Amino acid sequence: MACPNSEKNLKACNCSYPGCPRKGLCCDCLTYHRAKGQLPACYFSKDAEATWDRSVDAFLKDRASRA
């Protein structure tokens, strides 16, 4: 079944990783990164997102740099 929110989700998606099949499918995106102990792109600032490091450490560093 296609996600009824995928078009709306894509408009809000800040992920710059090319070719990911989970773009616009937030449930799949979150499940994928959670299983790896990570967070999805939308938790990160523009600069931090661009590194493609989705680790919790990277998230905390990004948050600290914005405080």
Distance (Å, rounded) from C-alpha 43 to C-alpha 47? 12
Q: Toward ligand SF4, which CB reaches closer, 14 or 65?
A: 14
- Tokens 């967070």 correspond to 39
Question: Which residues bind to ligand SF4, rule: CB under 6 A?
Answer: 15, 17, 20, 22-23, 29, 32-33, 40-41
As measured in angstroms, the least distance from the Cβ of 67 to ligand SF4 is 23
Which of 25-35 are b and which e, b meaning 16 or more Cβ less than 10 Å from the residue's Cβ?
bbeebbebbee
As measured in angstroms, the least distance from the Cβ of 28 to ligand SF4 is 7
